[in-house]
A and B are shown apart, each in its own frame.
Chain A
C-alpha cells in the first residue's frame, strides 16, 4: 500500500476498500452479509456433505470404513469431471444434455482403437479428435446458427447414443486394453507419493492464500484467511494419513494403501480449469457473456467465438470424464456415459451453486456438488433396510436412491432460488 495510492483513494469514498478487516469476527460478519445477499458459494454443498456423512456413519458402520472411502472418491471422480465439463456451458446459460454420451462415444472410440492394437497415445489422440468434432459440431449449431442448445444437445443425446451403440455393438462391452488407463480409477498412489501430493497441495493453498491476503490491501481478514488455510491443511493431512493406513482385505491379493490416483487427477483438472476461468482473459469473457451477452458484444468480445470455445472445451472435458467412466469398470459398454451420468453432472454443478441462467459458478463447486451426489449411491446401499417410525424402508433400493438424489437437487435449487429472492 503505497502512499500515493492512498492519496488517490482519499479523494473518493471507497469505504469498504479502506476498511481494515483484520479480526475473524469482522470477516465472519462480512461472510454472513455475503450469504444474506444471495452469494451462498460452497455453503449448500458443504452442508449437504456434512449431513449425509453424519447420517450414513450413524446408521451403518461400514460407511466410515477405509475401503469405502476409496470407493466413494472413485465413484465421485467421473461425476466431478463431467460436472466441470458441463459447468463451462452452464456459465454461458446454455446446457449440454449430450455431455454424458460425448464421454461414452469418446471412450468407445478409444477402447476400440486400443483393442484393435493401437498404441495408447494414438487412441487418446483419436478420442481428442472425436471430442473436438463433437464439440465444434454442437458449438457451430448453437453459436453460429443460433439454435437453442437445449434442442441441439437433446438431438445429440440421441445421435451420440446411436454412435456409441454402433461402436461397441449392441449389448457388447469393449475391454480397456491399457493398464495405465485402467489404473486411473481403481489404483492408489504409494504412501510416499500420497504424502508428497498432500504437502504440495497444502503448499499451493498456502501460496494462494498469501497472495490473496497481500493483494487485498487489508480488505480480507488475515487471521480468517490463515484459519481457513489451517483447517484445509489439517483436513488434507488427516485424509492422507487415513488413506495411508493399509486397508487390504484379509484375503486380498492386492495391497490397498494410499490416495486413489483419481483424486490427484481430478484436483489437477480442477486447478487448471479454475486458473483458466479466473486468471485469463478467456475466463473473464466467459463470465461476461454468461452475465450479459449484449454487454459483452458491445465491449468488443466475440460472443460467438466464446460460445463455440465453451462447447468445445465441454466436449473435451467430457472425453476426459469418459476415460474415468471406462477406467472405473475397465471397459466401455453401450451404457457408458448413459443412464443418469449427465443428470448427476448437471445436478452436481447446480448443487455446487452454478446458476442455470449463466454467469455464476465455480469449478470447485462442481466438484463439491459431485461429492454430494456420489455420497447418496455410495452410502444408501450400505445402510440397507431400516425401520424408521415403524415403516420399514429398504435404503439400498435404487428407487430410494433416485428419490433422495432428486430431493437433494430440489433442495439445492430451492436454497438458490430463495437466497436470490431475498437478495432481490
Chain B
C-alpha cells in the first residue's frame, strides 16, 4: 500500500493560534483505497489538522499536495472542488428536509431553471444502493424520522455523491449503538474498497482496529506515529501512543524538549 502515490500529502505543516503552537511539522498522508485512522487525545490537534486540510484554517508553513500536485486550499469550496469532503460530528443535516433534498443541498440539479427532482431522486437511490445502504426505507423520508446511524449514512452519502476522492470522517460512531456502529464501519470500509482515501477520526480503538489500514497518532500537535494496522496491533499500543506519545520503540523520543 505504501508504494502507491498518496492522494493527499501534507509535509511539514505548522499552525499557531497566537502564541499557541497547535500543529508542529505535521506530515500526513492519505492513500487511495485506504482507511487512515487519526487518533489522539482531546487537544492533540486532530480537528485543527482536518480544518487545515479543508482550508477553514490557513496553515502557517508547510506544503499540501493533492494527487502529487502542490495545491492551495483556501476554503471548504476549494476542497470540495478537488474532491475532499468532510463529514463533521454534528452531521450538518437539515432535519426538515428529506434525504434527497439533503444529499443535494446547495448543489441542486436544475432543469430549465427549476429543481430536477426526478433526476436527483434517481441519483440518490443509486448512490445509497452503491454504498449498500439497506436500512433506509425511502429516499423521500424526512431526516427527522431517521435513526442516528441512518443520519450518519446520509451524511456520508452526501460526501461521496460528488465523486469525492478523499473523505474525512469526524467521530462517525461516537453517538451510535452497537448495531448502528457496525453499519457505519461497514460503510467506511466500503468507501475505501471503492478506491477513496478515507480518514477516520476516532476515539474508539475497537473501531480503529476493526476498520483502519493505517493509524496516525497525534500527541500534543505532533504526529507521534504513522504505522500500518496489522492483526498484531494491540489496543494498548494505540492507547499508549495517545496518552504518552510513544510506545516501546515507536513514538516521540525527545518528549521533554518539545513541551
Query: What residues of chain A have their CB less than 8 Å away from a CB belonging to chain B?
Result: 5, 8-9, 11-17, 37, 215, 219, 279-281, 284-285, 287-288, 290-292, 294-296, 298-301, 359-360
Contacts and interface: CB of A to CB of B under 8 A. Distances in A.
Contact of A284 (B95, B101, B130): B101
Interface stretch (B26-34, B62-70, B133-141): B133-141
A16 B137 contact: yes
Contact of B139 (A14, A292, A299): A14
B30 to A, nearest CB: 21
B240 interface: no
B76 A359 contact: no
B184 interface: no
Contacts of A295: 91-94, 105
A31 to B, nearest CB: 15
A49 B184 CA distance: 48
Contact of A8 (B97, B129, B145): B129
A291 B138 contact: no
Q: How large is the interface on B (under 10, 10 to 19, 20 to 34, 35 or more residues)?
A: 35 or more
Contacts of B138: 14-17, 219
Given A284-B115, A298-B76, 5 more contacts: A9-B125, A281-B115, A294-B92, A295-B91, A296-B106
A44 B97 CA distance: 22
Contact of A281 (B108, B132, B136): B108
B110 interface: yes
A284 B100 CA distance: 12
Nearest to B130: A11
B96 interface: yes
Interface class of chain A by DSSP: helix
Contact of B96 (A15, A281, A290): A290
Given A8-B125, A14-B136, A291 B115 contact: no
Contact of A5 (B96, B114, B122): B122
B125 A14 contact: yes
Contacts of B77: 300
B118 interface: yes
Contacts of A300: 76-77, 80, 106-107
Nearest to A300: B106
Nearest to B124: A14
Contacts of A14: 125, 128, 136-139
B13 to A, nearest CB: 23
Nearest to B115: A279
A94 to B, nearest CB: 15
A90 to B, nearest CB: 13
B92 A281 contact: no
